[in-house]
Amino acid sequence: MVMEEEVMVNRKVVLKHHLPPDRMPKESDMELVATDTVRLRVPSGSMAVLVKNLYLSCDPYMRSRMTKHDEPSYVPDFVPGTAGITVHGLSGYHDTYRFGSSRFSITGYREWQPTLRWLLSIDRRSSALSVMRRIFDIKLIRIKTSEGQVPTSRKEGSFTSNSTNTLCMPGLTAYAGFYEICSPKKGEHVFISAASGAVGQLVGQFAKLMGCYVVGSAGSDEKVNLLKNKLGFHEAFNYKKEPDLNKALKRCFPEGIDIYFENVGGAMLDAVLANMRLNGRIAVCGMISQYNLGKHDGVHNLLALIAKCIRMQGFLVSNYYKCYREFEEKVVRYMKEGKIVYIEDIAEGLENAPSALTGLFAGRNVGKQLIVVARE
């Protein structure tokens, strides 16, 4: 129980300056600041809520937001010094001294969401959820499912970061990219790059459940071991140890690839194009190998798209929120049946956010990278 007048320091991580497009982000590009305070008291009868962040996400797309773009990007650039970095997080709602349910939201790298003053003026007939949606463009996705609570390691009624991530942004990305873009069929040959990551690990498991032959690449032997022995991939290889990616793919796919779930771009994409089968599909989810380059790598094997009648399509998860219901039903069923596992890498404390975020681009994360700010 929080004391009525309690004022808390609200620590947050801010970007110190915009980054040039051609280098990796460094921890020193960000800093933890503790200049704001929040008053935890919510006036009696008010519809105001104060959000307490529990788990924060690290996502590769955040790199693009650290650079100032002349042409607007699909997500706005961060403003150095003024705002915590916006991410997806699992948050508790502090509502007149009681914590309500945990929810997924778009929030910032901060302990408390400093939206209290705005929320105090909100029409009290509005629900907190619709208020947040309308005023702050915070998208909330229902975690409690129509089929009841998903399995968690915590008591009924609360949520682990694990179930949240499986059922939220990375999960929906994997689902939409695989089922909607790749049009998979039983028995097809599927290749996934960055396969042990937040998105890739789920794509591989969806493909396995569909009866496909599944191969993944990752950047360490530890990750390759996880792919084969924990996530159920048929085959996996450490791309950093392969002198010739084309040969590695030929070894794993002597009959070629039907579906490529693209997470990395660059040399891997070229090698995959050379190994695609007739009528293959490529879902372009991300190209992380290009995110810290000023001049992007060229792709040389694009003629394969014509000769092999390949469909290559990019997508944004934000265009697939309409699939959320069917995604939720299917994935909750898989989770209840124990058919899906999810690997997370949890950094302790907001102060470790810069290191966790930069680690994505060095491949330090094993599974979905999260930061735990508070557990309750």
Ligand X SMILES: NC(=O)c1ccc[n+]([C@@H]2O[C@H](COP(=O)([O-])OP(=O)(O)OC[C@H]3O[C@@H](n4cnc5c(N)ncnc54)[C@H](OP(=O)(O)O)[C@@H]3O)[C@@H](O)[C@H]2O)c1
Query: Any contact of residue 61 with ligand X (CB under 6 A)?
Result: yes
Mask of contacts with ligand X, 228-267, x by CB under 6 A? Answer: -----------------------------------xx---
CA 259, CA 305: separation in Å to the nearest integer? 13
Nearer to ligand X, 42 or 271 (CB): 271
Q: Name the segment binding ligand X (CB under 6 A); options: 23-31, 57-65, 75-83, 153-161.
A: 57-65
Dihedral over Cα of 33, 34, 40, 42: its sign: negative
Mask of contacts with ligand X, 193-212, x by CB under 6 A? Answer: -x--xxxx------------
> Given candidates 273, 288, 331, 357, which one binds ligand X under the rule CB under 6 A?
288
* Cβ–Cβ under 8 Å, residues 129 and 135: no
**208-233 burial by CB neighbour count: b if 16+ within 10 A, else e?**
bebebbbbbbbbbeebbebbbeebbb
Q: How far is the CB of 267 from ligand X (least distance, A)?
A: 9
Query: Any contact of residue 181 with ligand X (CB under 6 A)?
Result: no
Query: Any contact of residue 286 with ligand X (CB under 6 A)?
Result: yes
Phi-psi region of 232 (alpha: psi -120 to 50; beta: other; left: phi over 0): left
CA dihedral defined by 258, 262, 268, 271, rounded to 10 degrees? 20
User: Contacts with ligand X in 64-93 (CB under 6 A)?
Assistant: none
Q: How far is the CB of 273 from ligand X (least distance, A)?
A: 16
Three-state SS annotation for 221-259? HHHHHHHHHCCCCCEEEEHHHCCCHHHHHHHHCCCCEEE
Q: How far is the CB of 26 from ligand X (least distance, A)?
A: 15
Query: Any contact of residue 108 with ligand X (CB under 6 A)?
Result: no
- Catalog residues that contact ligand X under the rule CB under 6 A: 59-61, 170, 173, 194, 197-200, 218-220, 223, 263-264, 285-289, 315-317, 360-361, 363, 365, 368-369
